[in-house]
Structure 1
Amino acid sequence: EATFEQAAVGIALVALDGSWLRVNGKLCEIVGYGHDELLERTFQDITYRDDLEQDLEHVRRLLAGDMTTYAMEKRYLRKDGSLVWVKLTVALVRKPDGSPDYFISVIEDIQARKESEADAIASEQRYRELVESANSAILRWAPDGRIAFFNTFAQRLFGWRAEEAIGEAVSLLVPAQDSSGADLTGLVEDIANHPERYLNNINENICRDGRRVWMHWTNRALRDAHGEVAGILAVGNDITEQKQAEEALRQKNEELERFNQAAIGRELQMIALKRQVNALSRQLGREPPFDLSFAQTVEPPAGSPVP
């Protein structure tokens, strides 16, 4: 009696037609009915309609002797109209002659677990929607370099479908050398071994069609319960146009510097010639024709005479 009434789960004795013969306080609490109210109903009355047929099929098999017990997750319709998820375990008690007598049902409230699972599924769905709609390449790869996740943007950028890329080495996307000749053969292994060095990294990648793209990667180590690196989450943005613009700017700056050096050289040669003319004028007792006071601090080219 004490076990029946004080159990932390709902317990009931149920007649073969589904009516409640005896119920404990926990079951009444789970479904929101008073003791006498519940005894006036059957389990069919409070079972959610979408779950009822499966429950009844289990009952038929139990009565037929196909099994001795069954367990299932189902929903009850509470008195206030809300649904509650339960885990139901049912056993059939038989009479001495072997004919069915009644059912023993144990009902565990699993509503909180179901809500947690639903929240986790919704969170995962939101995460996937965010990842798949992102304008960045998002990859997850294992410490051995094998790709485990390859989002839609990465597929469009690199030209590999997810089913083709997943399971392949991430070095599939990394050329042996970049355009400047830098060796990239050990890059993937080094990121896996020392992810803290590559929180932000710029390197050249190669697409399926051989096209090169410069990427800015943000790499984060995914660690297991023991703190070991279980994978790398890499988020990359295509900065090829920026790199090309930087290279064009560098070349223009070099060209301008060469021009400036040439112009300065010509100006210095002109100053040197004017100094020579001034020096010759002085030797002839004439007034120097050129005012070079502005150039007193300018070093003349080597070998030029100084007035």
Structure 2
Amino acid sequence: MTPQAALLDAQAALQAEAEERRRLEMIIDGTGMGSWEWNCRTDQMQVNERWAQIVGYTREELAPITADTFLQLAHPDDVAQSNALLREHLAGRSAQYESLCRMRHKDGRWIWVQDRGRVYECDAQGRPLRMAGAHADVSDLQNARQDAADTRQRLQAVVDASDEVAVIATDVHGVVNLFNSGAQKLLGYTPEEVIGRVNPGLFHDPHEMHDYLQPEADADGRVPTVFEALTARAATGTWSHQWTFVRKDGEHRQVRLSISPLNGGDGQRMGYVGMAVDLTPLLEVREQAHLAAEKFAGAFNSAALGMALVSLEGRWLDVNDALCGILGYTRAELLEIDFQTLTYPDDLDADLAMVQDLLAGRRDHYHMTKRYLGKGGHLVWGRLSVSLVRAPHGEPLHFVSQIQDITAQHQSGQQLRESAQRTRVTLDAVADMVLSLDLRGRIEYANAAASRALAGEGAASFTGSQIQDVVELTTEYAPRSPLELEVLLDPDSNAVDLHSDLLLSVGAHLLPVDLTRAWLRDDEGEINGAVWVIRDVTQQRARQREARHLAEVDPLTELTNRRGFEAHLQQAITRVARTGQSASLMFIDLDNFKPINDNHGHLAGDAMLWAVANALRHGVRDSDIVARLGGDEFAVILAGCSLRRARRIGTDLLHSLQVLTIPWDTTRLGVGASIGIAAIHGGTSVDAAVAAADAQCYRAKALGRNNVQVEDPVHGGPDPLDSPDDGGSE
């Protein structure tokens, strides 16, 4: 071959090689993948433009490109694994290098990259010389995988954590294959007792289901099974119904059961899932709430103060006659108006700010003086007290407002300036105590009512005296701790607003009072004194206590009801956290009580509940709180009582209930009890404390009833059942 021919062949070969390389690059570009070649000896890399685009750069921006370029872009948590996989391949222990890692995009986000490559050239000793591979952006795929995994985890967590919802799943034949902790709590069975062996028809009340299934019989008289009948209802979608479930221990619970079909990805029916919510406590609470509402309505309508129930949006939900008289509207007219419309514009922002503090939980109640627009256009000054009613789980429901007409008291300051003599005559005729003071606390005027109450009939005038020498104010919460009266003379202080339970010391007596302040100003508008109006609210406080009593006392047994019990339990938890003093919680569930109601009627049951309540009341200390939680369930909060002492008390109560009988017709009726006791720990929640004692009560029932079970000691701590009693803890 001539040199010229050889040169032509070489040029043709180079052209063919270039064409092949161009074709390969077009194929790679068409796949959207980034290609790379790595010289293992020099550490230099060649990449295509797509390789750089995947991470948001151009090749020029990344140049010079080496293995360090990859390490700088890779996520620090992924570098070690990627290097380990690369070493495995370079050592010949893997057919190719393949790594999934994160790389930082130019805009700062992390993208997922699938990196594959292999050695294609080695030296005579088999050591790698060159390696090539490709990058692919798999962020969408990886994110989709992560979303799917997160979804599976969330769904599994929901099922596992649904302690208040029973979740039971079956196959198409009715065999249970899922039984969560909520189902275990509701029905009393363990998953091992149910999964794979039990048809869910076992959980239904047989009498209720018999009546339900009879109309479903076919022409041959065959009655479908519970599973067949209920799943037929849910064949095309979710079906819900209220049923009676029977627990393993025989107790009946009212539930709302929703059944849904389960289909596979191919649309084939896989089974069914049922979700049951225990309605029993709700139904009991509704009944108790109905009774409490009737009693509250009586106190509400007969109150001398203006009272209103107000929606979260500000509309009047209900008003009493006193409020109608204060504002001059009829009840029907007020129910068509919101409180914002009747509030004097200059006072609205302050009122709404207080409302927001209530809703946000920054305060439990608030007091303020504000102006209302009466129906006739006249201005009404009111002393407003507002509290927020919340649902058991904390959701706001509505406001309760008390409005005292203080128009006369407010105008007293102006009347003083206009005509001192006329004001004195007027104020002497007022039953409220009225004092005028300067800002140093010197009494400049006292009306006749104040003189009689604070100095006695016929006593010398105490005008000119210091207020702290004449008046001592304290509170029902801390009756032995007098308030600092200097603070009450500070115009910027809200000390009065912080105390709705003021007491005035009159001789040896403490008189419930309300204190209203009005500020006196000089000609330049500067505050130079104050007028105090002290009102005797003995009857008002008595009515308020009666209203609270009606709301927190069980009407049948006259024990604390569940609402009052939860408030006392929260106080006990706070006291334990503050003092470290031990305390115990006892749950008592009567045994064999239902037959009394069934065989002798509810009057007999009520008589037995009254007798049990009386036995419990006399079986504990005066400082202990005895409550009826509903039905035949009772609880006792034992303040300052260790578990060891609580066991003795529980044993004594159990014996008292064992021997307790009441005469009824020609026989005597008796019951037993299952008692569970747990320690009250500081920092825990009311629900957690209740659950601990309730668990011991269930254990007592499971062990044959008519016994006392006490919570095991905290792991690693002293055993309160074995250690000697602390004399200061009981």
What's the TM-score once normalised by structure 2's chain length? 0.30
- Correspondent of 2:244 among 197, 204, 207: 204
1:36 positional shift: 2.7
Alignment partner of 1:27 is 2:56: no
- Correspondent of 1:187 among 226, 244, 253: 226
| Alignment-derived partner of residue 268 in structure 2 | 228
1:194 positional shift: 5.1
Question: Which piece of structure 1 moves more, 174-183 or 199-208?
Answer: 174-183
- 1:1-307 equivalence runs, <5 A: 1=22, 2-16=26-40, 19=43, 21-41=45-65, 42=67, 43-95=70-122, 97=124, 98-131=126-159, 132-133=161-162, 135-162=164-191, 165-171=194-200, 173-174=202-203, 177-178=206-207, 182=211, 186-193=225-232, 195-196=234-235, 199-240=239-280, 242=283
| Structure 2 gap ranges (5+) | 1-21, 214-222, 288-597, 599-730
1:69 positional shift: 0.6
Q: Is the 8 A contact 1:148 1:166 kept in 2?
A: yes
The letter of the residue matching 1:83 is: W
1:125 positional shift: 4.3
Counterparts of 1:54 and 1:14, CA distance in 2? 19
**CA 1:180–1:5: 2 relative to 1, 3 Å:** closer
The letter of the residue matching 1:99 is: R
1:101 positional shift: 1.8
**CA 1:7–1:211: 2 relative to 1, 3 Å:** same
RMSD: 3.4
1:85 positional shift: 0.7
Counterparts of 1:161 and 1:17, CA distance in 2? 65
| Structure 1 gap ranges (5+) | 246-250, 252-307
Counterparts of 1:17 and 1:212, CA distance in 2? 80
Report SS of the residue matched to 1:44: helix
Q: Is the 8 A contact 2:201 2:225 kept in 1?
A: no
Q: Is the 8 A contact 2:123 2:129 kept in 1?
A: no
The letter of the residue matching 1:237 is: V
Report SS of the residue matched to 1:37: helix
Report SS of the residue matched to 1:178: helix
Counterparts of 2:73 and 2:209, CA distance in 1? 73
Q: Is the 8 A contact 2:209 2:226 kept in 1?
A: no
The letter of the residue matching 2:131 is: F
Counterparts of 2:231 and 2:74, CA distance in 1? 53
Counterparts of 2:199 and 2:42, CA distance in 1? 60
Counterparts of 1:37 and 1:68, CA distance in 2? 33
Q: Is the 8 A contact 1:18 1:44 kept in 2?
A: no
Residue by residue over 1:249-291, the C-alpha shift from the partner in whole angstroms, topping out at 9 and shown as x without a partner, is xx9xxxxxxxxxxxxxxxxxxxxxxxxxxxxxxxxxxxxxxxx
1:52 positional shift: 1.0
The letter of the residue matching 1:153 is: G
After TM superposition, where is structure 1 displaced by more than 6 Å over at least 4 residues in a row?
Answer: none
1:154 positional shift: 1.8
Q: Is the 8 A contact 1:9 1:27 kept in 2?
A: yes
Report SS of the residue matched to 2:172: coil
What's the TM-score once normalised by structure 1's chain length? 0.66
Residue by residue over 1:125-161, the C-alpha shift from the partner in whole angstroms, topping out at 9 and shown as x without a partner, is 4445555346332222221223333333222112234
Counterparts of 1:113 and 1:196, CA distance in 2? 35
**CA 1:133–1:179: 2 relative to 1, 3 Å:** closer
Counterparts of 2:71 and 2:259, CA distance in 1? 55
**CA 1:4–1:96: 2 relative to 1, 3 Å:** farther
Aligned residues: 246
The letter of the residue matching 1:187 is: V
- Structure with the greater relative contact order (CA < 8 A, sep ≥ 6): 1 or 2? 1
Question: Which piece of structure 1 moves more, 229-238 or 219-228?
Answer: 219-228
| Identical-pair percentage | 22
